[in-house]
Every structure is written in structure tokens, then in C-alpha cells.
Amino acid sequence: MQKILIKNIRSLVQTRTEPPHWVAGKDMAVLPEIHDAWLAIEDGKIADFGTMDEWPGISDWSGLEIIDAEDGLVLPAWCDSHTHLVFAGSREGEFVDRIRGLSYEDIAARGGGILNSARKLRNASEDELFASASKRLDEIIRQGTGAVEIKSGYGLSLESELKMLRVIKRLRERGPIPVKATLLAAHAFPEEFKNNREGYIRLITDELIPAVAAEKLADFCDVFCERNYFTPEETIHILTVGLKHGLRPKVHANQLSASGGVQAGTQVSAISVDHLEYVGDAEIAALKNSTTMPTLLPGAAFFLGLPWPPARQMIDAGLPVSVASDYNPGSNPTGNMHLLLSMLCITHKLTPEEAINAATINAAYAMDLSATHGSITPGKQANIIITKPISGIAYLPYAFGSDLISKVLIDGKIVRHD
């Protein structure tokens, strides 16, 4: 049996013996910590923890590997519940066009944006996509991500959406972190269906969803509910068909306008609604008493120069919030979750405790991994971050440009050692 003891932990963060499924409202400000702690890992899972003055009651010390945290913090690895990290080619040309004054929607209207990525992806082989996405996956693991969700949505045809999902399946098999897959065929209307919306929606509901379900290629189904993309009615229709085939709904909601995406999501009990730049009282009311996790993607809002979502107002209204990267070539070309913690604190006025809850326990809920990830809990997978020696949790979002990670463990195995 593999046994690891991590000692000299300045603070063991997010320790919960009986974790709630999420933390909401005032509870988001509570982040349990144990100072001067140790953490025991057995067979890749968290076994026990305590303070350094009460040494663990390990009966058999043979084969025990000891890791000295050297006064660093130990946290559960980040859960990133929203990425598009399988893609072909970058879009810095559009980035420059936006600097010169065009908007994300202007660029999309002239055939750029998602359709630009779709053209590139259709010409890329499965092996090429797997190789480039593997590099991105390795990069985010080094940055402390211990679970990730990845969407299709740059295929926009039966063949190319399936190609993307097969790449995601290979990434899951490759590991080492859990990979959840989402069918996002309803990301945009492809050129060939520009004048036949119903035709494309029928392709999704009658052909793609059944094919994806038969091959067990996805866990979730997602729709970009937005003006010039999919209406709330179309969103509900597609997600309802997905649900019948076992795919849990998610929605890209209210990113560019008050699109009705949040209400569409709560109506079909989406596991999460993501973006939320254009959210007001009606959306907050729809989210209250729902099982839907409001997920903020501050990297995309920053990169596109969108207004910040009313995160403070949402938490003050008693809602949970989670955070994800949205790693994609068009609206956020990075999966660095540490940077997002800083954005949540600096621009959205979340406290460090709230931001860390958003990126761990609540983010695990948003990707249906609450049972195994998102907190330091006996029995959960030992996917953890050991930081360099730092003063405490507030230093993490404070030092927004620094790499503060010393080690990353996935299933108890060291995958980054500095």
C-alpha cells in the first residue's frame, strides 16, 4: 500500500470531514484551515490529517514516504469546470482587431470567432488535436488544476464534433487528472446551416446526441444561449433531448446580453450556468432555490473587456458561486486558475476565502465531482497543491503574477516537484 505523510504544513486549507455539496451566501466566507498540520495519504486517497503536536497514529511506518511541506500551504487542487482546451491554432489576429476597436460580436459577424476556430479544427487530425491539447493539459496540471471539464464545440458537424469528443476521451484515458466531457455542438451555427437553423438543431438532437450517448463520449450537454447564437427556447429543447440521453445540462448564459440563458438553465436543472456578465434581480431570483451552480469566468470577461458579473450581489443574495477558466483560443487563452483567484478578489470583490471556495468545493459541484474532489476530506482523491512558504491564504490572490506552487500531487503521486 502506498503511504505518504506530508509534514510541516503551515496551513492545511479546505479541511472538511463532512463536506456540504456546495457552500453558498455567508458560508462562502468560511474556509476551514488547520495550522501547523500534517496530512496522511494512502493509496492515492486522503486518509487523515491533524496538527503537528499530535503525530498521526500510524501503526506500520514501513514504506512510508515523508514529504516536508517546509512551511508551505496545502490546498485541494483547483477544479476547472469549464474549458475548451481542445482546439487548433490561436486567434491573436482577432485580439489585435479588438484592440483596434472591433467587438467580439463584430468579429463573429464577419465569420471570425468560433467559426474561425471551427475552420481550423476541421482541417486538423485527431492525433494533432490530441498532441496540442496534451501540452495544454500538462501546463494546467503544473499550475495546480486537479480536475478539468473539456467541451467540444469547434467541430459544428457530426464528424468533427465526434472527432473532438474522441480526443477528449483519449485525454481522459491519458490522465492523470479526471476529465469530464461536454457536447457543445450548439456553440454556433456553422456556415452551411446559416440559413437553416432548424436543420442544424435537428442534426444535434436527432443525430449527434444519440451518437454521443451511444459511444458514451460526454457527461454534459451545453448550449451558447445568446443573441445571434441560440435562443432560450432552442436551448431548452436541445438540453431536454440531451437529458433524455443521460447528458446533464450546462449553459453558456448571459455573456453578451440578458439572454434568458440563466432561466433556461434553471428550468432544465442545469448543473451550472456559466459567464453571467449580464445578470440582474430576475436571474438571481431564478437561481435561488435551484440546484444550478452560477459559474464565473473572469478570464473571459477580462480578455474581452466585458462588464464584471455582480458576484458580490449574488453571494449577498445567498447564492453559491464557482469559478472556471474557460480556457479557449478566442476569449481566454489560459487555464491559470491562480490568476482567476486574483481577478475574483480584485475586480469582483470576493474575499480570498470566498475565491478559494469558488475554485475548489463549488467548482467540484459544477462538474459533478463533489464526491471525490474539491476538499481535503478523508476518502477523497489526494489531488493537492503544496505551495512555497507563504504567509497564508490571502497571499495567493495578492501575489497575482507569481508562481507560488512548489509541488502538485495527483492521486498521491508527485507530478510537479520544484
Which listed residue (300, 301, 341, 415) binds ligand NIG by CB under 6 A?
300
Strands 413-417, 405-410: pairing kind: antiparallel
| Rg of the Cα atoms in the chain | 21
Ranges within 230-269 binding ligand NIG (CB under 6 A):
252, 255
Q: How far apart are CA 2 and CA 8, in angstroms?
A: 20
Nearest approach in angstroms of CB 102 to ligand NIG is 13
Nearest approach in angstroms of CB 80 to Fe ion is 11
Strand order in the sheet with 293-296: 78-80, 145-151, 179-186, 220-225, 248-253, 272-275, 293-296, 322-323
Count helices and strands (H / E) in the chain: 16, 16
* 94 CB-contact burial (10 Å; exposed 0-12 / middle 13-18 / buried 19+): buried
The residue among 240, 288, 233 whose CA lies nearest residue 268 is 240
52 beta partners: none
254 binds, among Fe ion, ligand NIG, none (CB under 5 to 8 A by kind): none
Terminal-residue alpha carbon distance, the chain: 26
Nearest approach in angstroms of CB 45 to ligand NIG is 33
Contact between residue 103 and residue 255 where contact means Cβ atoms under 8 Å apart: no
Q: Is 331 in the site for ligand NIG (CB under 6 A)?
A: yes
Q: How far apart are CA 344 and CA 299, in angstroms?
A: 10
117 binds, among ligand NIG, Fe ion, none (CB under 5 to 8 A by kind): ligand NIG
374 binds, among ligand NIG, Fe ion, none (CB under 5 to 8 A by kind): none
Q: How far apart are CA 190 and CA 157, in angstroms?
A: 8
330 binds, among Fe ion, ligand NIG, none (CB under 5 to 8 A by kind): ligand NIG
Q: Which stretch binds ligand NIG (CB under 6 A): 158-166, 284-292, 323-331, 375-383?
A: 323-331
Q: Is 283 in the site for Fe ion (CB under 5 A)?
A: no
Nearest approach in angstroms of CB 146 to ligand NIG is 22
Ranges within 71-130 binding ligand NIG (CB under 6 A):
113-114, 117
Contact mark string toward Fe ion, 311..330, x via CB under 5 A: ---------------x----
Q: How far is CA 360 from CA 75, 282, 300, 365, 366, in A?
A: 9, 27, 19, 9, 10
Residues contacting Fe ion: total by CB under 5 A:
1
Contact between residue 141 and residue 79 where contact means Cβ atoms under 8 Å apart: no
335 binds, among ligand NIG, Fe ion, none (CB under 5 to 8 A by kind): none
Nearest approach in angstroms of CB 295 to ligand NIG is 11
Nearest approach in angstroms of CB 94 to ligand NIG is 8
Cell of 44: 492515492
10 binds, among Fe ion, ligand NIG, none (CB under 5 to 8 A by kind): none
Nearest approach in angstroms of CB 397 to Fe ion is 23
Instruction: Compare residues 277 and 326 and give the one whose CB is closer to Fe ion.
Output: 326
| Contact positions vs ligand NIG (CB under 6 A) | 113-114, 117, 224, 252, 255, 300, 326, 328-331
| Contact positions vs Fe ion (CB under 5 A) | 326
